[in-house]
Structure 1
Amino acid sequence: MIEISTSPATTTLVIAGDLDLAERDQFPEIAARVVGLRRQLLVIDMCRVTFMDSTGAAFLISLADSGRKRGGATVLRGCDDRDLFVLEVCGALDLFRIDVDHRCDPPAGANAS
């Protein structure tokens, strides 16, 4: 599931579940909506991503590349090491700013230890 929200300067995508080949049918519509919003900053919240393959990485790369061509920036927050590794293997990590300060909320129903 991918949710889109906006503010005057920012578009935020909140991604939950798998970001992979099985989800690719929704990528063109989402990319068109994000590009059409023409915000300078795209924040991609990956706190609830459970798996990302090269198809999901290609989707993120296309979003970042579109934004960069318009002079914008793309920030990844909540990315785990394996997602960053996939982007690094694709040679695209430098397209993104990584929010190292963001802390994901615990999953709903999680007990605090």
Structure 2
Amino acid sequence: MIDISASPTSTTLVVSGDLDLAERDQFPEVTARVTGLRRQLVVIDMCRVTFMDSTGAAFLISLADSSRNRGGAAVLRGADARDLFVLEVCGALELFRIDRDHRCDDVPDAVEEPSIV
């Protein structure tokens, strides 16, 4: 599940569950909604992501590309080491700012993020 909210300057996506091939049918609609909001900053909250594969990574990459094309940025918040590894293997980690200050307070199995630049 992906919840979308917007402020005057940013769009926030809160992702819950798996971000993978099985969920790909919702990705075009979510991408269209986020793009239509035309906010400079896209924040992707991954505290509740349980699994991400290369299909999920491609979705995140498309969001980051869209934001960059508008002169904005994409921020990953609450991404754990395995999520960052998938993006790194895809050669796309540099497309994202990593929010290292965010803590997933209400997620029982939150994992500390590695210190990746």
- What TM-score range do you get, normalising by the shorter chain? over 0.9
Alignment TM-score, normalising by the size of structure 1: 0.94
Structure of greater Rg: 1
Alignment TM-score, normalising by the size of structure 2: 0.91
Matches for 1:1-113 after TM superposition, within 5 Å: 1-107=1-107
- Taking only aligned residues, the RMSD between alpha carbons, in angstroms, comes to 0.8
Please give the per-residue CA displacement for 1:35-54, whole angstroms capped at 9, x wherever unaligned. 00000000000000000000
- Which amino acid is the alignment partner of residue 66 of structure 1? S
- The Cα of 1:105 is off from its aligned counterpart by 1.8
How many residue pairs get aligned? The number is 108
Q: Distance in 1 between matches of 2:12 and 2:48?
A: 14
Once the two structures are aligned, what percentage of the paired residues are identical? 81
Runs of 4+ aligned structure 1 residues displaced above 3 Å come to none
Q: Distance in 1 between matches of 2:31 and 2:79?
A: 19
Name the SS for the 2:34 alignment partner. helix
- Which amino acid is the alignment partner of residue 93 of structure 2? L
Q: Distance in 1 between matches of 2:73 and 2:84?
A: 17
Q: Which runs of 5+ in 1 are unaligned?
A: 109-113
Q: Which runs of 5+ in 2 are unaligned?
A: 109-117
Q: Distance in 1 between matches of 2:3 and 2:57?
A: 17
